[in-house]
Amino acid sequence: MSMTLYYSPASPPSRAVLLTLRNLGLEFERKVINMMAGENKSDEFLKINPQGTVPVVVDDDFAMNESRAICCYLVNAKSPDNSLYPTDDIKARYIIDQRLFYDASTFTSALTGALVPIMRKGETVIQQEHKDKILSVLNTLESFLDGYEWFSASDNVSIADLSILANFSTIYHIGLDLADYPNVSAWYERCKELPGADENEKGAKMFAMFLKSKLTEPF
């Protein structure tokens, strides 16, 4: 049996899957896909994922895309009793699912809205409306952590934390001030002790460096 991760080190979804693989202690092969060079649009890659997106995980001959679905699969298939995504408590799993869906929709939408105009449209300033959406997300994340160490609303780290961490570290290194978010700040410090955290930080800083080179004003 073999497993291969096709990914971009700077990509938040790629980093979410990489974090999950590391926290599960799984063995896998890594293949970097250079998005800037268009490798994700090559015939070879499109045979694996017709959507042309990263990450992709191929488990034997089973190819998967969409980072959060991959993270769920990895726990379900490789470590079904793992507290990263528990099988024995439906309410606990609901909370993790809810956080994952919030991250996939609201957080990612806010992040994309702020960053895509800089990356693809030549804008040099993050517009205030996009900053406000990101800050609104931070307020919600802060409330999710009231009384808890992790986004699972428990003492256990979950795949929701790993997915949110990939997005959060990206915007943090672009210049986010955490002074008004003590819960999130403390959570982020705990995350730095997780397996794969150093790789995630390196990728987030890579993404932030690229973006900040295009900005004329800080976040």
Q: Which long-range contacts (CB under 8 A, 24 or more apart) does 40-45 make?
A: 45/6
Query: Rounded to whole angstroms, how far apart are CA atoms 101 and 28?
Result: 26
- In degrees and rounded to multiples of 5, residue 178 shows phi and psi of -100, 10
Give the DSSP letter string of 24-75. HT---EEEE--TTTTGGGSHHHHHH-TT--S-EEEETTEEEESHHHHHHHHH
Q: 216: phi > 0 → left, psi -120 to 50 → alpha, else beta; which?
A: alpha
Tell me if 27 sits within 8 A of 1, measured CB to CB: no
Residue 143 known to be catalytic: no
Three-state SS for 4? strand
Q: Which of 8, 11, 67, 158 is catalytic?
A: 11
Tell me if 15 sits within 8 A of 203, measured CB to CB: yes
Tell me if 142 sits within 8 A of 188, measured CB to CB: no
Tokens of 59: 């488990």
Three-state SS for 97? helix
List active site positions: 11
